[in-house]
């Protein structure tokens, strides 16, 4: 499924994206709240991250979408909608995202995440979308708030490793269901160059 938003194309991650993902994760500021600044190894991205996302996409239509910035056709990070690894409740999906530092603050993570929420509740039968973030990751928390997600229980505990946000299907329908952003069920074709192999 290719998703088309105002400034982005979102397409399922490809093996050819490995260099882009490696360089994104080589920035200690990008990785600050993910791994205390540690880069992700190329082996992990090539042997685990991408194959797992592609297998998940083939089996369930979920996984990682590479973001392409339409005005420049440049890589703009990724957004993921994944089935939780722990199994969890059947109809829930986990949202996550990562954007290169030079593109921060332009609303791109919000735009991509909003489109993914629409996909979760229209192209998929999700009843709940959740996301975990470090309490001090203000940018990430702001993205989640802007797209209508709220902390799961009570006030977030600033000492916790992670604070969990969620949005339920019926909340999304009330909030955004009638003015869908993006084109989650879109059949838009990308220029061939963007498809890769
Ligand atoms: C989190 C991340 C994806 C946000 O991407 P982005 O494209 O810059 O996000 P947006 O521009 O859509 O929104 C960011 C919001 O946070 C705000 N923000 C950013 N840094 C902030 C800070 N230090 N304090 C307060 N607000 C901050 C921005 O002003 C913006 O809110 P606004 O629209 O109300 O002004 C990006 O910072 C990133 O890739 N971080 C590293 C990876 C990461 O932490 N991922 C999440 C792990 S759970």
Question: Mind listing the pLDDT tens digit for each residue in 73-125?
Answer: 999 999 999 998 776 667 999 999 999 999 999 999 999 999 999 999 999 88
Instruction: For residue 77, report the phi and psi dihedrals to the nearest 5 degrees.
Output: 100, -155
Return the residue whose CA atom lies nearest to atom 19 of ligand 1. Answer: 139
Q: From ligand 1's centre to the CA of 175, what distance in Å?
A: 22
Q: Is the CB of 40 under 6 A from ligand 1?
A: no
Q: Assign 3-state DSSP to the chain and report helix, strand, coil percentages, each to 5.
A: 35, 20, 40
User: Exposed, middle or buried by CB within 10 Å (0-12, 13-18, 19+), for 110?
Assistant: middle
Q: Is the CB of 24 under 6 A from ligand 1?
A: no
Q: From ligand 1's centre to the CA of 96, what distance in Å?
A: 12
Q: Which atom of ligand 1 is nearest to the CA of 141?
A: 16
Q: Which atom of ligand 1 is nearest to the CA of 134?
A: 48
Per-residue pLDDT reduced to its tens digit, 25-82: 999 999 999 999 999 999 999 999 999 999 999 999 999 999 999 999 999 999 999 9
CATH 3.90.1150.10 fits 3-181, yes or no: no
Per-residue pLDDT reduced to its tens digit, 124-164: 889 999 999 999 999 999 999 999 999 997 555 666 789 99
Which residue has tokens 């105002």?
A: 6
79-88's contacts with Cβ under 8 Å and 24+ in sequence apart are 79/10, 79/109, 79/112, 79/113, 79/115, 79/116, 80/53, 81/116, 81/119, 81/120, 81/124, 81/129, 82/53, 82/56, 83/56
Q: Is the CB of 133 under 6 A from ligand 1?
A: yes
Q: From ligand 1's centre to the CA of 108, what distance in Å?
A: 9
- What is the structure's pLDDT at 157? 62
Q: From ligand 1's centre to the CA of 58, what distance in Å?
A: 30
Q: Is the CB of 99 under 6 A from ligand 1?
A: yes
- Average pLDDT along the chain: 88
Question: What distance in Å separates the CA atoms of residue 35 and residue 181, rounded to the nearest whole number?
Answer: 31
Radius of gyration of the chain (CA): 16
């Amino acid at each position: 499924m290719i998703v088309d938003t105002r400034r982005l194309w979102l397409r399922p991650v490809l093996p050819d994206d490995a260099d882009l993902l490696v360089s994104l994760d080589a920035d200690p500021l990008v990785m600050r709240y993910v791994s205390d600044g540690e880069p992700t190894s190329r082996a992990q991205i090539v042997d685990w991250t991408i194959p797992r996302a592609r297998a998940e996409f083939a089996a369930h239509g979920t996984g990682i979408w590479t973001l392409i910035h339409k005005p420049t056709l440049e890589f703009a990070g990724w957004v993921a909608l994944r089935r939780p690894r722990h199994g969890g409740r059947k109809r829930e999906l986990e949202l996550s995202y990562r954007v290169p530092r030079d593109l921060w603050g332009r609303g791109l993570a919000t735009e991509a995440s909003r489109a993914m929420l629409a996909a979760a509740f229209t192209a998929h039968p999700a009843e709940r979308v959740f996301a975990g973030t470090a309490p001090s990751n203000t940018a990430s928390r702001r993205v989640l708030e802007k797209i209508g997600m709220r902390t799961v229980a009570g006030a977030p505990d600033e000492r916790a490793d992670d604070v969990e946000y969620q949005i339920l299907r019926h909340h999304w329908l009330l909030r955004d269901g009638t003015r869908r952003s993006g084109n989650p069920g879109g059949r838009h074709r990308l220029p061939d160059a963007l498809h890769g192999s």
